[in-house]
Structures are given as structure tokens and as C-alpha cells.
Structure 1
């Protein structure tokens, strides 16, 4: 029966360490950046998985102390903060962030870009329909943003210059259609 419940005397220590690690993680993430949980990038995902592993292991591993878990957790949150600050430098950002991709240009789906992003044409069409776009010919651009969101710019046949923020996204994009950046 020990396989089911383990050592009953040990369960109190597990519960205590789990509660302490929860409070510790809550405090560390509270002092960390809001974006850690709101809009995930690669560094955010890595931090979240690592935090979960540290909290889980510290809570149930009898050979790991609370202090060891707390130090690991604080170190992880501090490293996440350092990397977040370094992301403001373009060279470093290229190591940590995905580049913007142009998935649709002037009403034409760019299948190679979809493939590179791991998306299907069905994925793209579903996202466009959810945004109220029902004619591909009405789409000037679809940008696949660094954090995975889509920006849809209507007016496929418009001769006007794209707005500033769209031009900035096109400049940062990989494999921009000729004459667009």
C-alpha cells in the first residue's frame, strides 16, 4: 500500500514545501515582469517550464530542500529579467525572438512562409474568418508577428503607402515581397 500513499510522515513535509514553493513562485513572478504570463515569447515559455519543474521537484523530492528550490527559482526569475532587458538590443533579439513573416501579400497566400511557420492554409483561413475577413482578395498583408499573433491589413489593391507600423513590421519581416519594405 505504500506505493499509493507513500510514507505518511513524509506527506506533511511535501505539503509544507509545496505551499512554500507556491508562495515563493507567486512572489518571484510578481516581482518579475507582467509579460511573463501575459504574452509569451520563447524566453517566457522556457521560464514557465523551468519554474514549473523547480516548484514541482522541490515540493515532492525528499532530497531537495526548500532553500535549494527557492535559490533556483530566484536565479531563474533574475535570468529571465536579464534576458528581457538584453532583448532591447537588435543583435540579441535575433537570438531570442522569431522574426515577423508575411503570410499573405496582396491577396496571395505565401505557402512557403506558412510552411516555415508550421501553419497550414486552413489555419490561416480560420484565423481570417475569425477576424471577419471573408475574401482573400480584400487582404493586403497578413503579418505573423514575433509572438504568434496575426496582423491583418485590408485593402489588397490600395495604392496608398502602408501605415507606419505596418511598414515597420515589413522592414523587420523575413522574405518581404519585392518593393514592399
Structure 2
């Protein structure tokens, strides 16, 4: 009965490994995963497919072991979480203060369609098929490529479209629509 009521306060709150080691491990793993995810094509960011979910779960498992080895205390968990939050905030702050670094954090929009013509090299770079692009355009009410003045892949994986001016429609219409696509 005593085992149910016994609380090991020392094990619960006193770290079993060095705090400096925890911070260094968490920093290295966070920055490595951030760099890997940043290099993936933008289409991976818009939604989470089955393959994407599997990658996230495997990253989480691998990162947990690399960051903390065998931590057991609440304090160690809090230090790891605090380190990850620090790096996330710091990178966003750095991107705000240093515009050239912001381009690394959030790349500029990538032109996919110009004056009704697909830019193949940009589509290949982002691994987008013409069918996927047309699906996104149809979801925005665009029937044909000739109706598209410009279409961009945004940093978050969505596609924004600027339509051609229509001479038959005298009512002003919204120039740009943004859709969270399947990319």
C-alpha cells in the first residue's frame, strides 16, 4: 500500500543529466530538423497527408531520443520545451530584424503561371503536376489557364491566383484569392 502513496520528489524534479547538455542537445536537434524541413518542397506544408504524418511521427521519435537520451524529471522536460520555444521565437525575431534571413525562413512566392502559361521548371521544383495545379485553380473558380494572369505558390504551400481582366464583366471582382491547397 505504501508504494501507491510514495512520491519520489527528487526523481520528479531533479534532472538526471546536465542542464547544459539538455540545452545543447535540444538546440542541435531543433536546428537540424528545422533545416531539413525548410529544404523540403513547399507542397509539404499546406496539408498533412499520410506520408507527411509518418515523417512527423518518425521525426518526433528520433528527436525525443536525440534531445534527451533518457530523461525522467519534469524539470528536464520543461528545459527541453523551453529550448525549443526559445529557438522558434529567436528565429522569428531574427527574421523580423534581418530581412535577408526572413527569405530563408519564409521564401518569396514562386510564380507557377504567367499570362496563362505554366512555368514548368517551377512546377518541377515544387513537385506539382499540372493536374494538381488545375485542381487548385478549379477550386478557386478558374476554368482555364487562359483566365490566369499570375498564379503563385506561397510559402505556406497555398496557391494564390490573379485573374486576367475580363472585358465582358463590368463589375469589379476580387483580383486575388488565396486557397489553402493540398500542397
CA contact (8 A) 1:106 1:156 kept: no
Change (3 A) 1:49 1:76: farther
Greater relative CO, 1 or 2 (CA 8 Å, sep 6+): 2
Distance (whole Å) between structure 1 residues aligned to residue 142 and residue 119 of structure 2: 17
C-alpha offsets along residues 61-110 of structure 1, whole Å, 9 cap, x if unaligned?
A: 8x312321210111111110011111122211122222311100000111
2-structure distance, mates of 1:111, 1:144:
13
Runs of 4 or more above 6 Å deviation: 48-51
Mind listing any 5+ residue stretches in structure 2 that lack a counterpart? 13-36, 40-44, 46-55, 168-174, 177-183
Q: Are 1:75 and 2:76 counterparts? A: no
Where does residue 151 of structure 2 map in the other structure?
A: 142
Aligned to 1:65: 72
- Partner residue, 2:108: 99
Aligned residue-pair number: 117
Q: Cα RMSD between the aligned structures?
A: 3.8
Kindly state the Cα deviation for residue 42 of structure 1 after the two structures are TM-superposed. 4.1
2:128 paired with 1:123: no
Structure 1 runs not aligned, ≥5 long: 1-8, 18-40, 159-164, 167-181
Match of 1:151 in 2: 160
| Cα distance in 2, alignment partners of residues 53 and 81 from structure 1 | 23
TM-score by length of 2: 0.52
Give the alignment's TM-score, normalised by structure 1.
0.53
- Partner Cα distance (2:144, 2:113) in 1: 12
